[in-house]
Amino acid sequence: MSFIKKIYVNGKDEVEFFKQLEKRSGETDKKVSAVVNEIIETVREGGDSAVKAYTEKFDGKLPQYYEVPREVINDAMTDADPAFVEALLNAIENITDFHQRQKSQSFVNAKADGCIMGQKVRGLDKVGLYVPGGTAAYPSSVLMNAVPAKIAGVKEIIMVTPPLKDGTPNKDILVAAGLCGVDRVFMSGGAQAIAALAYGTEEIPKVDKIVGPGNIYVATAKKLLYGVVDIDMVAGPSEILVMADETAKPKFVAADLMSQAEHDRLASAILVTTSEKLADETIAEIERQMEYLERKDIIRYSLENYGAMIICNTKDEAVDMANRCAPEHLEVLFENPLEYVGRLDNAGSVFLGQYASEPLGDYYAGPNHVLPTSGTARFFSPLGVNSFEKRSSFIYYTEDALRKAKDDIVLVAEKEGLTAHANAIKVRFE
């Protein structure tokens, strides 16, 4: 008997499964919140000395540098594997091409009566980019956060990243930072780095927004500091839902499900299919392929607890289920996948066809891999250029135009009991 659940859609069993799935994120642990609150307040009061003390406490020693010198970043790029640099440059080209199309435009609307209204769009002044260090270091996340920020016109990107155990920076992270034009890099991680970015210290600038993934302490710090500073999103465990029919290749489906299951024990990987035969063959493929994957223990735990093979009666039923689940990653391995794009309303990113495997989006194709999780794709969008933009509107009215509008404005203001609002209009025509 397989360790992966098979669920037949009947209006009850699949509903119960998705309810259980929603519980995996849950509320932030109160103990974690208490620890993070203490760290935030200590850094707010103590600045860099508090940040360094926490770094020494949690990482075992102070890093080689607090701020990484520019020549160290340049040396990392010089010494890097040329093939790795080329791969990153190719990815940057694709990410840039995609995100340049998202840039918002300022506009001016000059009316015939002389009134002028418009919107001014510009990039944020300073953005903080958190990048996990050590074994969970992801250069691809540097690209996905820094490239759209630069396109938006962000003036300065401040990166924080924890040191390796020997106190040195992760060279791959430095290469990605250098190629993307990150302005400054500080060797600090955890909630203390988030607090430093939010409030500013003697050396680490106060930023307008903090982006980037991290552990539960980082995520909690971002959540608690939202309002003091803007954040990208509160991300939950990774997830993928694959919709497939009998034409899909079990080998591909299995590999794609495991590509997300390996992220985290809480990750969710689900197959929704009209073919029970495909489900059975996919399970067999998972058990075969898993044996030669390094993170097979994590994959097994994730699939056993939060994975499922859901057998639908029709493709329409599968589409409805995908929209209800609102997954972070949605793969469509139906015979004619492009037919379904217009009907898939709730997903962070949609991958169409057997050769649009999810890691293509993680590393290379161009669309952002920072995506809403835990069903929030119903109302949240992927990270993009507009995540780093701010907008202001402006209004110019002539005397004649205001005279025509004054009675309406005064009437509404007085209905709301705001007589000073009404007065500000009346005094101009007394």
Q: Which helix (H) or strand (E) holds 331?
A: strand 329-333
pLDDT band at 1 (very low <50, low <70, confident <90, very high): low
Q: Residue 355 corresponds to which tokens in the numbers above? A: 């050769």
Q: Are residues 221 and 241 in the same domain?
A: no
Average pLDDT value for residue range 225-250? 93
Could you tell me the pTM of the whole model? 0.91
Binding site residue list for Zn(2+): 260, 263, 362, 421
Q: Residue 377 corresponds to which tokens in the numbers above? A: 């794709």
Structural domain of 200: 30-231
Average pLDDT value for residue range 342-352? 94
pLDDT of residue 60: 77
Residue 207, CB-side half-sphere exposure with 13 Å CA sphere: 33
Q: Are residues 207 and 333 in the same domain?
A: no
- Taking CA atoms, 372 is separated from 211, 271, 409, in Å, by 13, 19, 41
Q: Are residues 141 and 169 in the same domain?
A: yes
Q: Which helix (H) or strand (E) holds 219?
A: helix 216-225
Laid out side by side, the sheet with 126-130 consists of 184-187, 156-161, 126-130, 209-211, 230-231
Q: Are residues 175 and 201 in the same domain?
A: yes
Other C-beta atoms closer than 10 Å to the C-beta of 412 total: 12
- Active-site amino acid positions: 328-329
Flag whether 409 is in a domain: yes
Binding site residue list for NAD(+): 130, 192, 215
Flag whether 197 is in a domain: yes
Give tens-digit pLDDT for 164-200.
Answer: 888 888 999 999 999 999 999 999 999 999 999 999 9
Q: Are residues 407 and 360 in the same domain?
A: no
Please give the tally of structural domains in the chain: 3
Judge whether residue 135 has pLDDT over 80.
Answer: no
Flag whether 204 is in a domain: yes
Q: Which residue, 231, 265, 285, sits at the end of a domain? A: 231
Binding site residue list: 130, 192, 215, 238, 260, 263, 329, 362, 416, 421
Q: Are residues 345 and 401 in the same domain?
A: no
| Interatomic CA distance for residues 427 and 430, integer angstroms | 5
Q: Are residues 52 and 19 in the same domain?
A: no
pLDDT of residue 29: 74
Average pLDDT, the chain: 92
Q: What percent of the chain has pLDDT over 90?
A: 80
Q: Residue 155 corresponds to which tokens in the numbers above? A: 């003036």
Flag whether 391 is in a domain: no
Pairing of strands 230-231, 209-211: parallel
Q: Are residues 34 and 183 in the same domain?
A: yes
Q: Residue 326 corresponds to which tokens in the numbers above? A: 């609102």
Flag whether 381 is in a domain: no
Residue 200 belongs to domain with CATH number:
3.40.50.1980
Q: Are residues 44 and 62 in the same domain?
A: yes
Judge whether residue 365 has pLDDT over 90.
Answer: yes
Flag whether 375 is in a domain: no
pLDDT band at 430 (very low <50, low <70, confident <90, very high): confident
Q: Which residue, 192, 209, 231, sits at the end of a domain? A: 231
Flag whether 415 is in a domain: yes
Classify residue 289 by its DSSP letter.
Answer: H
| Chain CA centroid to CA 349, Å | 11
Q: Are residues 288 and 344 in the same domain?
A: yes
Other C-beta atoms closer than 10 Å to the C-beta of 87 total: 15
Q: Are residues 216 and 246 in the same domain?
A: no
More confident residue, 395 or 264: 395
Q: Which residue, 183, 202, 231, sits at the end of a domain? A: 231
Q: Are residues 73 and 213 in the same domain?
A: yes
Beta carbons of 370 and 141 less than 8 angstroms apart? yes
Average pLDDT value for residue range 52-62? 86
Phi (first) and psi of residue 270, to 5 degrees: -130, 135
pLDDT of residue 32: 87
Flag whether 384 is in a domain: no
